Homo-oligomer: A and B are copies of this chain.
Amino acid sequence: MFESAEIGHAIDKETYDAEVPALREALLEAQFELRQKAKFPVIVLINGVEGAGKGETVKLLNEWMDPRLIEVRTFDQQTDEELSRPPAWRYWRMLPAKGRMGVFFGNWYSQMLQGRVHGEIKDPRLDQAINGAERLEKMLCDEGALIFKFWFHLSKKQMKDRLKSLQDDPLHSWRISPLDWQQSQTYDKFVKYGERVLRRTSRDYAPWHVIEGVDPHYRSLTVGRILLEGLQNALSRQPLKSTQVNAAPLPTAVDQLSLLDSLDMTQHLDKDDYEEQLITEQARLAGLLRDKRMRKHALVAVFEGNDAAGKGGAIRRVAAALDPRQYSIVPIAAPTEDERAQPYLWRFWRHIPARGKFTIFDRSWYGRVLVERVEGFCQPTDWLRAYSEINDFEEQLADARVIVVKFWLAIDKDTQLERFQAREAIPFKRFKITEDDWRNRDKWGDYRAAVGDMVDRTSTEVAPWTLVEANDKRWARVKVLRTINRALETAFERSDKHDKKQKKDKK
């Protein structure tokens, strides 16, 4: 969920300086129109990692826009007034009126996260708080509010560097927060529970935007653009129909940098290394699947990737080492008649493995946010809600001890062309290449954006994505096998710990 915000997004000074004046003007104009029409309020939630530029961004927005129409609210310690009333009262009294913008700095999310990180509440209570936030936001959206939720992110290393530089700077040392961010444990917990909160509360009517905080130019421009697009979008849709809500659209990276760019596509293995490593990993997988701890788990592997990225070959290498009674491969193509008569997740639920079993999906439920999105086979509202539906689905799998590994096999455009041409030249491979493949290739950029959003919104602690550099097939195959093996080992270790703890608790 935070992967795309750790890849070093940056905008150089010239580009920034060139872009800002137009952005400021457009923002002011949108703000003015918002005021004139006064049809809905705008609520901006600011959350995220310490030192990632939350305060600076809010300061900047006040400089860029008309501060008379912005109310910045900081919710820190509750006042006596607030303590003597229901917890939500403090937010209600500060809600911006229609036509105005409220920036909530420290909000319902900060409270529940701090509570969880400090161990004052446990997961079920956190979930109750999450649910309360969802209900509040749903109601606000149904009442017309436009909600932006920003999560400012830094990798652990970026955060430590940043805190250090702030500490050394006498002008900024007041910024060090009460939460002891110096401890790396705090960061880990904050990000872990933050991910849970984002996963659950990123809904189509109020999605989260994760912003990499390390470069001020990138950060500021990104937030400004998302606000602008969202505002313009909502203003143009007034008046709303009774069943519509003002949702902010998904952002595109202002520096055009995507997680896919961060892959080192030159990764490769020579033949000898490959053969040795392949056999080692295959044997390891066979062993792990025979492990008696596997009886408590099931395994699901999802293969997605560019056309001709080598999904089939990778799947064969995985399957090669295994007892056919233990695994099954489910190829996902256009839905059958039976499947079209059901909700889109139904055809995947059908194939969920029982404990001890392993299912390989050759393409998957992610078709909804890839091909169906790009080709327009479903409505934007449908694929937008699919992210949270998929997260819910995978969370249910994880809760039932199903280990979920997901692979995106990435090749570059040239490699794809070579492979397409090679396939057309070999008679028995010709069936593998169709008109569709060439058509998809024309939409390379759209697919790329869809993959980026997919990973950002569905790579979660319970079911992370693994991006596989697949220009070299050998490298890709070994990486796939190794990833599955590590996932199994991690899961087994976690079960061991869990069982030990349970035994101990019983005593």
Contact = CB atoms under 8 A, between A and B. Distances in A.
Interface of A: 38, 41, 81, 84-89, 92-93, 95, 97-99, 124-125, 127-128, 131-132, 135, 139-140, 142-143, 145, 241-244, 298, 338, 340-346, 349-350, 352-356, 379-382, 385, 389, 392, 396-397, 399-400, 402
Nearest to A401: B86
Closest 4 pairs between A and B when the two form their complex, measured CB to CB: A124-B124, A97-B341, A86-B400, A92-B349
Contacts of A244: 243
A243 B139 CA distance: 16
A345 B86 CA distance: 14
A345 B84 CA distance: 19
Given A89-B349, A355-B84, A343 B396 contact: no
26 contacts: A41-B341, A41-B342, A84-B298, A84-B356, A85-B298, A85-B400, A86-B352, A86-B397, A86-B399, A86-B400, A87-B396, A87-B400, A88-B349, A88-B396, A89-B349, A92-B345, A95-B342, A124-B127, A124-B128, A131-B131, A139-B345, A139-B392, A140-B343, A143-B344, A242-B379, A243-B243
Contacts of A135: 392
B98 A342 contact: yes
Report the copy number of this chain in the oligomer: 2
A243 B99 CA distance: 25
Contact of A354 (B84, B338, B355): B84
B243 A402 contact: no
Contacts of A132: 396
Given A86-B399, A352-B89, A400-B86, A143 B243 contact: no
Contacts of A86: 352, 396-397, 399-400, 402
Contacts of A350: 92-93
Most buried by B among A84, A350, A381, A385: A84
Contacts of A354: 81, 84-85
A346 B92 contact: yes
Contacts of A142: 382, 385
Given A98-B342, A135-B392, 8 more contacts: A86-B352, A86-B397, A87-B400, A124-B124, A127-B128, A143-B343, A242-B379, A243-B243
A460 to B, nearest CB: 15
Given A86-B397, A124-B124, A93 B385 contact: no
Contact of A382 (B97, B242, B353): B242
A244 B379 CA distance: 12
A139 to B, nearest CB: 5
Contacts of A95: 342-343, 346
A327 to B, nearest CB: 16
Contacts of A356: 84
Nearest to A127: B128
Contact of A98 (B88, B124, B341, B396): B341
Contacts of A385: 139, 142
A341 B99 contact: yes
Contacts of A349: 88-89, 92-93
A55 to B, nearest CB: 27
A131 B135 CA distance: 11
Given A124-B125, A399-B86, A381 B93 contact: no
B84 A389 contact: no
A326 B131 CA distance: 34
A242 B85 contact: no
Contact of A352 (B85, B128, B131, B353): B85
Contacts of A97: 338, 341-342
A329 B346 CA distance: 54
Contacts of A128: 124, 127-128
Given A127-B128, A142-B385, A352-B89, A341 B84 contact: no
A125 to B, nearest CB: 6
A193 B173 CA distance: 51
A135 B352 CA distance: 20
Nearest to A388: B135
Most buried by B among A38, A145, A354: A354
A142 B92 CA distance: 29
A344 B92 CA distance: 11
B87 A139 contact: no
Nearest to A135: B392
A343 B243 contact: no
